[in-house]
Amino acid sequence: MQFPAELRYTKDHEWIKLEGTTATIGITDFAQSELGDIVYLDINTVGNSLAAEAVFGTVEAVKTVSDLFLPMAGTINEVNPALAANPELVNTDPYGQGWMVKVTVNNPADFEQLLTSEAYAKLVH
């Protein structure tokens, strides 16, 4: 399992990549492997301003439905359009084509408070 060093992570198994004030967010390789085959994503929060740890959508796998939590406060700008037709991208490429949302974050400095790849790896092992 891989946890890219340039990303930060949450205890709820989301990852975040920050570029200026724009964050790309998805679920980790660990999370997708625990969920199993992902069949549907329900994210209808585009345009919403949400607090850190607020639910921004759900991911549905064959055996369960899980809430998705926002790692940092901000406004949801975009949902990955490829996931509507191909939700399995979250399984096959969780850190690339399987990204879920893009967010304009309120406070980029909050990124430093999230888990590093090393800290996240210790959490899940």
Q: CA-CA distance, 27 to 13, in Å (whole number)? A: 6
How do the domains of the chain map onto residue ranges?
A: 8-105
3-state helix, strand, coil in the chain (%, to 5): 25, 35, 40
Is the CATH number 3.40.50.11780 carried by domain 8-105? no
pLDDT given at position 63: 87
pLDDT given at position 125: 87
Give the residues across from 49 on adjacent strands.
75
H-state helical runs in 1-125: 29-35, 82-85, 89-92, 117-124
pLDDT given at position 104: 98
Amino acid at 42: D
10-residue mean pLDDT series, the chain (125 residues): 95 97 98 96 97 97 95 97 96 97 97 97 94
Give the angle 122-34-47 at the CA atoms, nearest 5°. Answer: 95
Q: CA-CA distance, 78 to 43, in Å (whole number)? A: 10
